[in-house]
Chains A and B, each alone.
Chain A
């Protein structure tokens, strides 16, 4: 088997991991602003913990999409056209969320703020659910024919696994963001989010456990099963660390959980990238979905330069904005007044 398609399978798994690890807490913070924050100042506090980094985090999604197009065009074409309606909804959610982050503070009235909070919170929820459903479908199956086209109408993608995947990513984002906010804030918000992390971790991570087990029971290998164990250990470690007041280690536990969890899923389904639920012969694999060797070679060079650079400068960003924030750090909202002599 050629090494390059395998390498690119790994790269795409890494890109999705990076996306969920980083944007996971952005999306969770958006949801917590709607459900866990009390008052405008707390909401702004939460928003400003992700303010400098959220846009860079979202690029992981675009890169995952672009890399899939470049390295596995058949996978990209079949998955994205097959999930047409859910992806439109995800796009709408992502647009609302991005615009809400930037525009929320551009005007100060109760209605304006509330409207954007809803756009941000719901947008984050829907985007998380949709991404989860997409990843669940690409690891459990979509009714595609020999050409890779979806059969059975606009909603043929629907399956209970897709719902589990959606809930899995939503649950993960909520817990992950709680660990993140516990680490990045001080005062009442921090205390409340730590408590959320410890109490909600087990129920909220349940759907992701179901998804992992579904994939493992179907295609699990010794390697993927050991990653499952590592993921569970990571989550347990995170909760215990948080209980002892170690927020950094608590967040690290969640990161281990995510990295090992995603790795366990991708390693189990390898080398299939999009199983056909109609006929296994129509499934897309790293062999029949990949670009040619030359393209993959070029992209390998690009990724070998680009990915380490991204890790370095995004890491530096987190270092620059490392301090904890409290509501006292949030400046007063100021009205925007026309410079006109009345």
Chain B
């Protein structure tokens, strides 16, 4: 087997997997912080319950992101040592900045938040969460700066055949990075929105199903209470309805942002990596039309066998340039342009191993780029539409009694995840055959073929060992994570606030309403922290 292919699978699996957890962390974190802020401001116990419940799910997911993030940082050196040597002068810096300026904050302050209930003064406890959340958002920025340098290298000079950083501000304000970063943040909001809607929907449905909530003749909700089911009081209804509406708002704003930032990013990509965008469109010849459906063998070497079944004239030009008649260069013209600039064959150099002298395939895998692009947009649009429908269906204070709509809402949680994953697969595979794509306006020679990037000293067997080990581990842990999430979701708020169930004569009785005006009160309860007391949270 070819070490390069195994190494690419390894990187792809780890990255896509890591990015299942990351957008939920990025999107849900600010939501939880706002919920807690509302609680500290108003003292309304509804907000405390919201904070505790969504905070618990946030943490269950967070840890998986942390655990898989370490692999991300290490695998550059392990599997891509030639890449690390080539780009180290400029690529390592944002990674180190991320650790020092963001991840330290995130991890340390999240620990303070988790264990700080009833121990830190309320406002300081709230501040620890905001700092942790800010840490995660800044952390994403540095990682995207690093990735964007691979998409569009800036701020360097070529010295002795290696890019050497000369302008860190150019790297940090790379227009590719700013577009991709805002796009990723909006996408993360979409993930969090879908997550909130789906889970809140389940609980509102469950309350109706269990006969706790009913609807009157005009279809308006009549909120009930169940003494036999822990936590199912009237506030509980408010908790889920609020969650659902916040979720829908976050999703709609998020997906709106995704569309705007995606458009900006798309226009940049038409300039910076025209081949990626032509391949996303399966646009073989120059033209102006956007393909809605293209048939034929997308994987065929010869682009001319494709037929555009349905196309919208002018739309492609509009996406790329904002008008309807600028010709967009197609794949076939781009191939000869790229061959002229970057050669027809890989150089005869030992770093290419058996691939030295091989013809360079400049067109990325078209089925992946074409469908990746469409899955990203399709799932995103679907989820945005579903969020609007969710708001409409719940306008009278609860969800329809239908089990099937509930199942759709829960299943809908997956759509934004799918859109995020497809987006990354598209942008990373669309950059091939380059690992560092050439910048059309940048310094000549600052690019790298993926074929040259893999570790020369590492054997196919070693790479295979890591792919099998890590993939198996990821699969097992995904099952574990989802099963824990499901258990906590089904248990509702009491899973995160045991005091709702074990109120009397038990440890951790926090039912007292709080005095919101006193900033020095410890967080989480109306009682002062006792230094000899039982921990209000423990692993």
Query: Chain A interface (Cβ within 8 Å of chain B)?
Result: 44, 47-48, 51-56, 58-59, 61-63, 65-71, 73-74, 76-85, 87-88, 91-92, 94-95, 98-99, 101-107, 144, 147-151, 153-154, 291-292, 294-295, 298-299, 302-303, 305-307, 309-310, 313-314, 317, 320-321, 323, 325, 328-332, 334, 336-341
Residues of A within 8 A of B490 (CB): 338-340
Q: Which residue of B lies closest to A291 (CB)?
A: B89
Given contact pairs A73-B88, A104-B539, A299-B93, a sample of 5 additional A-B residue pairs in the complex whose CB atoms are under 8 Å apart: A295-B90, A323-B531, A331-B535, A338-B491, A339-B229
Contact of A328 among B159, B165, B495, B534 (CB under 8 A): B534
Task: Evaluate whether A340 and B81 lie within 8 angstroms (CB atoms) in the complex, with A95-B473, A294-B164 already known.
Answer: no
Quick check: A67 and B96 within 8 Å, CB to CB? yes
B111 touching A56, Cβ below 8 Å: yes
Contact A52 B115 (CB under 8 A): yes
A337–B109 CA distance with the chains assembled, in angstroms: 30
A329 in contact with B206 (CB, 8 Å):
no
> How many residues of chain B have a CB within 8 Å of chain A?
101
B116 at the interface (CB under 8 A from A): yes
Q: Is the CB of A62 within 8 A of B99?
A: yes
Q: Within the complex, what minimum Cβ distance (angstroms) separates A156 from chain B?
A: 9
Q: Are B79 and A81 in contact (CB under 8 A)?
A: yes
Query: A84 touching B455 by the CB < 8 A rule?
Result: yes
Contacts of A65 in B (CB 8 A): 73-74, 77, 99
Shortest A52–chain B CB gap in Å is: 4
User: In the complex the two chains form, is B100's CB within 8 Å of A303's CB?
Assistant: yes
Find residues 111-158 in chain B having any chain A CB closer than 8 Å to their own CB. Answer: 111-112, 114-116, 119-120
Q: Which residues of the other chain, B, contact A102 by a CB distance below 8 angstroms?
A: 59-60, 63, 539
In the complex, A70→B68 CA distance in Å? 21
* CB-contact partner of A298 in B59, B168, B480, under 8 A: B168
A63 to B104, alpha carbons, bound, how many Å?
9
B101 touches A329 (CB 8 A): no
Stretch at the interface among B180-188, B260-268, B323-331, B463-471: B463-471
Please judge, given known A-B contacts A73-B85, A95-B68, A102-B63, whether A306 and B108 are in contact too, CB under 8 Å: no
Please determine whether A80 and B104 come into contact, CB atoms closer than 8 angstroms.
no
Which residue from chain A places its CB closest to the CB of B165 in the assembled complex? A295
Whether A106 and B484, one on each chain, are in contact in the complex, defined by CB atoms closer than 8 angstroms, is yes
- Minimum-distance CB pairs A-B, first 6: A73-B88, A80-B77, A70-B92, A149-B457, A69-B92, A306-B100
Check: B43 CB closer than 8 A to any chain A CB: no
Taking CB atoms, residues of chain B closer than 8 Å to A79 are 77
A302 adjacent to B108 (CB under 8 Å): no
Residues of B within 8 A of A310 (CB): 100, 104, 108
- Interface pair B81/A80, CB less than 8 Å apart: yes
28 pairs from A and B in contact (CB 8 Å cutoff): A51-B115, A52-B115, A56-B107, A59-B103, A62-B99, A66-B73, A66-B96, A66-B99, A73-B85, A73-B92, A76-B92, A91-B74, A95-B67, A95-B68, A149-B457, A294-B165, A295-B164, A298-B168, A306-B100, A310-B100, A310-B108, A313-B108, A329-B533, A330-B535, A336-B491, A339-B490, A339-B492, A341-B229
Which residues of A sit under 8 angstroms from B88, Cβ to Cβ?
A: 69-70, 73-74, 76-77, 291
How many interface contacts (CB-CB < 8 Å) are there between A and B? Answer: 295
A-side contacts of B166, CB under 8 Å: 294
Contacts of B300 in A (CB 8 A): none
Q: Which B residues are CB-close (under 8 A) to A292?
A: 89, 159, 164-165
A120 to B229, CA, bound (A): 35
Cβ contacts under 8 Å, B59 to chain A: 102
Q: Which of B79, B95, B166, B226 has the most CB of A within 10 A?
A: B95
Identify whether the interface residues of B are mostly helix, strand, loop, or mixed: helix
Q: Which of A73, A87, A337 contacts B84 (CB 8 A)?
A: A73
Interface centre among B59, B109, B110, B498 (most CB of A within 10 A): B498
Complex interface: chain A residues within 8 A of B92 (CB): 66, 68-71, 73, 76, 291, 295
Contact of A149 among B79, B81, B101, B165 (CB under 8 A): B81
CA–CA, A159 to B232, complex, Å? Answer: 62
Q: Is B449 engaged at the interface, CB distance under 8 Å to the other chain? A: no
Q: Counting CB contacts under 8 A, is B194 at the interface?
A: no
When the two chains form their complex, are residues A339 and B534 in contact, meaning their CB atoms are under 8 A apart? no
Q: Is the CB of B488 within 8 A of A321?
A: no
Asked whether B462 is an interface residue with its Cβ less than 8 Å from the other chain, the reply is yes
Q: How far is the CA of A95 from the CA of B501 in the complex (A)?
A: 33
Most buried by B among A44, A151, A291: A291
Q: Which residues of B contact A306 (CB under 8 A)?
A: 97, 100-101, 104
Q: Known: A92-B473, A328-B534, A336-B487. Contact between A77 and B85, CB under 8 A?
A: yes
Contact present for B457 and A330 (CB under 8 Å): no
Query: Which B residues touch A88, using CB under 8 A?
Result: 78, 465-466, 469-470
Contact assessment for A334 and B120 in the assembled complex, using a CB-CB cutoff below 8 Å: no
Contact A150 B457 (CB under 8 A): yes
Q: At the interface, yes or no: B306 with Cβ under 8 Å from chain A?
A: no
Contact call A332/B507, Cβ cutoff below 8 A: yes
A48-B535, A59-B99, A339-B492 known; A98-B67 Cβ under 8 A? yes
Collect the chain A residues with CB atoms within 8 Å of residue B73's CB.
62, 65-66, 69
Interfacial chain A residues near B96, Cβ < 8 Å: 63, 66-67, 69-71, 299, 302
CB closest residue in chain B, given A70: B92
* CB <8 Å contact, A320 and B120: yes
Q: Which of B263-308 contact A (CB under 8 A)?
A: none
> At the interface, yes or no: B98 with Cβ under 8 Å from chain A?
yes
User: Is B95 in contact with A69, judged by CB distance below 8 angstroms?
Assistant: yes
A313 engages B164 (CB within 8 Å) = no
- Contact for B491 among A77, A87, A295, A339, CB less than 8 A: A339
- Residues 227-270 of B, flagged 1 when their CB comes within 8 A of A and 0 if not, give 01111100000000000000000000000000000000000000
Q: Which residues of B contact A63 (CB under 8 A)?
A: 96, 99-100, 103-104
